[in-house]
Amino acid sequence: MLEEIELGSDDLGGISSDHGKVLRAIMENPDLKVRPNANGAPVTVFCNIYVCSFDSISETSMDYSVTMYVRHLWNDSRLEFNSSTPITVSGSQTDGMWIPDLFFTNSKDAAVHISTSTRQSVLLRITPRGEVLYTIR
């Protein structure tokens, strides 16, 4: 369970003080970069993909690009907190957390296109029970 950390004078974007304490604890905990249960069993990660479009299809080279949403769902007991509502985290606040590494086998090339708007394409929601939903476009 996350311990509560007192907020300083800086504003956390108008979020409630309870959620602010949890966010601060997440951002200041270096252990969260390591996968949950690191010395134990593997973490079960559920994944779904929503394909928005197939683009740039080339029959000669058999290449194409895909625009899609990828969602990961897993449980991290280290992120449990006392509240009745989930916390939504976006942008650079996700940098200090472990995120599953998704890869596509038998692909020619697969990459997430990094741009200034990529941070806006990331959403992370944490429930009070420690369930983490990570979505990226």
What's the whole-model pTM score? 0.72
Structure confidence at residue 131 as a pLDDT band (50, 70, 90):
very high
- pLDDT tens-digit profile of 67-100? 888 899 999 988 888 888 898 887 666 777 888 8
pLDDT digits (tens, 9 = 90+) for 17-75: 567 777 777 777 778 888 888 888 999 999 999 999 988 888 888 888 888 888 999 99
pLDDT at 1 over 60: no
130 residue type, one letter: G
pLDDT of residue 34: 87
Return the CATH class of domain 17-136: mainly beta
Q: Which residues contact 36 (CB under 8 A, 6 or more apart)?
A: 43, 74, 75, 76, 77, 78, 98
Length of the chain: 137
Rounded distance, CA 10 to CA 81, Å? 22
What pLDDT score was predicted for residue 20? 74
Domain ranges for the chain: 17-136
Q: How sure is the predictor about 113, in pLDDT bands with cuts at 50, 70 and 90?
A: low
